[in-house]
Amino acid sequence: MKNINASIITIGDELLIGQTIDTNSAWIGQELNKIGVWLKRRVAVGDVWDDIWNALDAESKESDIIIITGGLGPTADDITKPLLCKYFGGKLIVNEDVLNHVKYLFDKVYRRPGPMLERNLKQAEVPDVCKVLHNARGTAPGMWFEKDGRIYVSLPGVPHEMKGLMTNEVLSRIPKYFDLPFIIHRTAFTMGTGESMIAEKIKDFETNLPEHIKLAYLPGYGMVKLRLTAKGDDKEKMEKELDEKFSVLKELVSEWLVTDKDENLATVVTKILKEKNKTIGTAESCTGGYIAHLITSNPGSSVGYKGSIISYANDVKEKILGVSDKTLRTVGAVSEETVIQMVKGAIEKLNVDFVVATSGIMGPDGGTDEKPVGTVWIAAGNKGEVETAKLAFRFDRERNIEMTSHTALNFLRKFILANT
| Confidence grade of residue 290 (pLDDT, cut at 50, 70, 90) | very high
Q: How many domains does the chain have?
A: 3
Last residue of one domain, picked from the residues 241, 259, 277: 259
What CATH number should be reported for the domain holding residue 77?
Answer: 3.40.980.10
pLDDT at res. 1: 60
- Calculate what percentage of the chain has a pLDDT beyond 90: 90
Q: Kindly state whether residues 40 and 167 are assigned to the same domain.
A: yes
Mean pLDDT of 291-301: 96
Mean pLDDT of 308-325: 98
Q: Under a CB-based contact definition with an 8 Å cutoff, are residues 202 and 235 in contact?
A: no
Mean pLDDT of 374-379: 98
- Amino acid type, 356: V
pLDDT at res. 120: 79
**pLDDT tens digit string along 58-82?**
999 999 999 999 998 887 778 999 9
Q: Kindly state whether residues 410 and 336 are assigned to the same domain.
A: yes
pLDDT at res. 113: 74
What pairs with residue 375 in β-bridges? 392
Mean pLDDT of 159-181: 96
Q: Kindly state whether residues 88 and 156 are assigned to the same domain.
A: yes
Mean pLDDT of 96-113: 87
pLDDT at res. 222: 86
What CATH number should be reported for the domain holding residue 191?
Answer: 3.30.70.2860
331, 222, 350: which is closest to 283 by C-alpha? 350
Q: Kindly state whether residues 252 and 293 are assigned to the same domain.
A: no
Average confidence score pLDDT of the chain:
95
Q: Kindly state whether residues 340 and 366 are assigned to the same domain.
A: yes
Q: Kindly state whether residues 248 and 272 are assigned to the same domain.
A: no
Q: Kindly state whether residues 189 and 310 are assigned to the same domain.
A: no
pLDDT at res. 145: 98
Last residue of one domain, picked from the residues 259, 277, 294: 259
Structural domain span for residue 238: 182-259
Pairing of strands 142-147, 150-155: antiparallel
Mean pLDDT of 298-306: 94
What pairs with residue 243 in β-bridges? none
pLDDT at res. 269: 97
d(CA 135, CA 115): 22
**pLDDT tens digit string along 185-237?**
999 999 999 999 999 999 999 999 999 999 999 998 889 999 999 988 899 99
pLDDT at 117 over 90: no
- With a CB cutoff of 8 Å and minimum separation 6, the contacts of 38 are 3, 4, 5, 6, 32, 183, 231
Q: Kindly state whether residues 29 and 109 are assigned to the same domain.
A: yes
pLDDT at 119 over 90: no
3-state DSSP assignment of residue 66: strand
Phi, psi of 20 (to 5 degrees): -125, 135
Does 252 or 112 have the greater pLDDT score? 252
**pLDDT tens digit string along 131-149?**
999 999 999 999 999 999 9
pLDDT at res. 193: 94
- With a CB cutoff of 8 Å and minimum separation 6, the contacts of 201 are 252, 253
Q: Under a CB-based contact definition with an 8 Å cutoff, are residues 188 and 194 in contact?
A: no
Q: Kindly state whether residues 9 and 69 are assigned to the same domain.
A: yes
Last residue of one domain, picked from the residues 228, 259, 290: 259
| Confidence grade of residue 107 (pLDDT, cut at 50, 70, 90) | confident
What CATH number should be reported for the domain holding residue 373?
Answer: 3.90.950.20
Does 415 or 120 have the greater pLDDT score? 415
pLDDT at res. 166: 98
Q: Kindly state whether residues 270 and 348 are assigned to the same domain.
A: yes
Mean pLDDT of 258-262: 96
- CB-side exposure of 112: number of CA atoms within 13 Å? 11
pLDDT at res. 80: 95
Mean pLDDT of 394-416: 96
Q: Kindly state whether residues 197 and 114 are assigned to the same domain.
A: no
Q: Kindly state whether residues 196 and 160 are assigned to the same domain.
A: no
What pairs with residue 358 in β-bridges? 284, 378
User: Rounded to the nearest 5 degrees, what angle is found at the Cα of 328, between the Cα atoms of 323 and 330?
Assistant: 135
| Confidence grade of residue 401 (pLDDT, cut at 50, 70, 90) | very high
Mean pLDDT of 91-116: 87
| Confidence grade of residue 96 (pLDDT, cut at 50, 70, 90) | very high
Measure the CA dihedral 321/323/329/331, to 10°: -120
Q: Under a CB-based contact definition with an 8 Å cutoff, are residues 368 and 322 in contact?
A: no
DSSP state letter for 138: S
Angle formed by the axes of helices 265-276 and 397-418, nearest 10°: 20
